Structure 1
């Protein structure tokens, strides 16, 4: 299970239809097709340089659990730099060149690590651990600086009426890629003749190549000049300050309740989630090949259930599903306590546990983001999204760092952390009881609907098909 990510908001930036830069249908199709292929290679890069494969590499280096917690917390902490990335990118004249500069440099840093791993793989000196930590930090910082520009680029390219459908398809293709690539990568690392550390060095080379191919494919996408976006009369020029937006949002009782929910939920999830794979690899000493297979099962379940939860949330609302499914997700850490090293656990209970996580966790990710969008006031959307991302980053990083310290610097250990995480997750659901979502059904109605008692619940909210027309 991974920490529920914050999905970045759709920027308020859109292209003026009167501008000559408006894309034609052929150029739009070319850009979207290139972006989809880009997502395939980007998924390979991100999963070869992170996730369970990176965790296994760190465990092989005999790095401390606290240090692994720092690595897991880094992406959340650097999210605080995303406003700076937006500021810098808006002063350029090309989204493509800015992305090449930030993401290209970030991905080439991993090439340095790959060379270092291959050179020192048999000695595994302390210097290699420090190089790994520095590369992870620098790469994440560059990625955070590039993310706002990439999101604005995609928001300008993808028509608003197609965004949900297109990004759902793109994410599904990425999940399918992960489903295939991660087990193959785990098998290669596990069976590499020179050992798992050297095998990961070779895997990093493959990942970097995939990452560079991803950037090359982006050159087929239509470039966007941020200065044309900023010149539009309806673009938000920052007329309302962040402080005034914060004051306004704090007076919004439902949004304030959401902040309490999301902050505590992100903290409690990250208190334990980054250490599930460590528990398998280090405490139970399960081979990395099995762990990658489990994660792929989870990805497969997520791939299917995203479609199911998306349709169901349109019918019932997001808040009821968050409460109902959140109860199941809150109990998930306790299920790890009954797992052992016996064949029954490896071949039956662990696959079922990862499938359960893959079924339930997408509902939390999807509905949390949808509820945020539904509650954010139109006149303070950017401020609402930015502050929420900051809360998630700080709370998530604090949870990960505390979890790493408790697992190694106290008598609590990983087993105790799992129990604490479960209790805090249940507590995080309480603020949702005081959150009012527009067009949301009550818990009683939703339970009745899920049991089959209401066949027509939300039928009036059915999405109608949208055809792309030539402009």
Structure 2
């Protein structure tokens, strides 16, 4: 948990918003700013090399080395504003730093997820990550507010360059501290045998019935998010004319809702199972784009309601999705399963974002729908709601291997009751593999979260 708090400080000092600030400071045009924003999704291609490194050298070792270099990649930015270099060279340095940070971060992500799957016992996984998410969300919100205020003050005083350099230096210091805290965690898998790379291991998630269903769900869900998510801030500023302060307030309200609800969702996941929580959350999240459409320049309450409702449901969805992906993945093949979930989900989000931009060009600027005037953005949001509804249907077919179906006679004798988790062993290696349960139940898992 302490490592997660410090990691949020690193992202607040050098995350996507700050890197965009660097791009604007160096005079980058919209194309390069957009490319910088697309790097986290393009970096998902590193999941497969990350899976190989994790299986070859061990999750803990790979996670520590990659997180160290990923969070020290910002060191060149500390001196960048003060060097007498051509502006084109400085832009090249910025994009090299961003590529190194995101690429190494994905390698670390694969190893870290595998490591946590071994380290955190299944029976407390929901509660632990629920608390960790709540604390990290609070730390991230406070750190982001602090860095934003600091940078705004520096811009007003025309010290943007030194302020950005100071944030880069702080990110490196916090990155070193977070690596030291991560090193305190042990590797519960002793005598790990390095296994050679085999193409069959890469394709294993496609042969696993439970994994295939989760892959299909993850691609659909991320595509639904990509259709509308990147344009929500534009909608608030351009169509609703809320202003930056109210946009920040909307984001803060959603973060508070996520923080407060995460521990409760964690307990429900441990009690009822990740599949049931995910199904309930994705069904409610279908309403989010509809609430966006109902809002107007003089009607803000749907946005406020969506911030609270969406924050709560996204918190439960993220935790359940993560727990379900760990439960579906066999311990030995977990790096390759996570690579498959992350790569397909990231690709679906990126392609859907491009498709959303095309849809807004195809739709008329204003259109009457059931007597209600809709803009091109609002029509795109409605398409996203339909895609979310399809994802909700797919979620009903997901399988959670840790839950065993009871004999029909036993269920009938007690009447219809929700299925409970059995007492499970602490070690994830003791769980049955998804393939073993595929014949017993209808044979599908989560995307990355980024």
Settle same-fold status: TM greater than 0.5: yes
Correspondent of 1:421 among 384, 396, 408: 384
Determine the structure 2 residue equivalent to 1:235: 193
Please show how residues 348-367 of structure 1 align to structure 2 within 5 Å.
Answer: 348-367=301-320
Q: Deviations over 1:420-445 (max 9, x none)?
A: 21111111222233334342899xxx
Determine the structure 2 residue equivalent to 1:82: 47
By how many angstroms is 1:49 displaced?
A: 3.2
Determine the structure 2 residue equivalent to 1:209: 170
List gaps (5 residues or longer) in structure 2.
Answer: 366-375, 407-414, 427-450
- Contact 1:266-1:392 at 8 Å conserved across structures: yes
Determine the structure 2 residue equivalent to 1:44: 9
| Distance (Å, rounded) in 2 between the aligned partners of 1:441 and 1:307 | 27
Q: Deviations over 1:331-387 (max 9, x none)?
A: 212222233344x52xx5433321221111112212222222333345644432222
Q: Deviations over 1:66-85 (max 9, x none)?
A: 76654443212212213424
- Contact 1:96-1:224 at 8 Å conserved across structures: no
- Contact 2:224-2:385 at 8 Å conserved across structures: yes
- Contact 2:125-2:266 at 8 Å conserved across structures: no
| Distance (Å, rounded) in 2 between the aligned partners of 1:188 and 1:287 | 20
RMSD: 4.5
List gaps (5 residues or longer) in structure 1.
Answer: 1-35, 443-452, 466-471
Determine the structure 1 residue equivalent to 2:444: none
- Contact 1:314-1:461 at 8 Å conserved across structures: no
Secondary structure at 1:434 match in 2: coil
* CA spacing shift, 1:462–1:252, aligned 2, 3 Å: closer
Secondary structure at 1:429 match in 2: helix
By how many angstroms is 1:215 displaced?
A: 0.9
Aligned length: 403
By how many angstroms is 1:299 displaced?
A: 1.3
By how many angstroms is 1:319 displaced?
A: 2.8
| 1:325 maps onto 2:281 in alignment | yes
Q: Deviations over 1:395-435 (max 9, x none)?
A: 12222333345556875743332222111111122223333
- Contact 1:371-1:437 at 8 Å conserved across structures: yes
- Contact 2:141-2:255 at 8 Å conserved across structures: yes
| Distance (Å, rounded) in 2 between the aligned partners of 1:237 and 1:294 | 48
| Distance (Å, rounded) in 1 between the aligned partners of 2:116 and 2:279 | 32
By how many angstroms is 1:258 displaced?
A: 2.0
By how many angstroms is 1:295 displaced?
A: 1.6
By how many angstroms is 1:301 displaced?
A: 0.9
Determine the structure 2 residue equivalent to 1:272: 228
Determine the structure 2 residue equivalent to 1:260: 216
Please show how residues 68-467 of structure 1 align to structure 2 within 5 Å.
Answer: 70-85=35-50, 87=52, 98-99=65-66, 102-111=69-78, 115=81, 135-149=97-111, 167-190=129-152, 194=156, 202=163, 205-206=166-167, 208-216=169-177, 218-219=179-180, 222=183, 232=191, 235=193, 237-238=195-196, 241-243=198-200, 246=203, 249-342=205-298, 345=300, 348-377=301-330, 380-407=333-360, 413-438=376-401, 439=403
* CA spacing shift, 1:37–1:85, aligned 2, 3 Å: same
* CA spacing shift, 1:304–1:433, aligned 2, 3 Å: same
| Distance (Å, rounded) in 1 between the aligned partners of 2:384 and 2:162 | 34
Secondary structure at 1:301 match in 2: helix
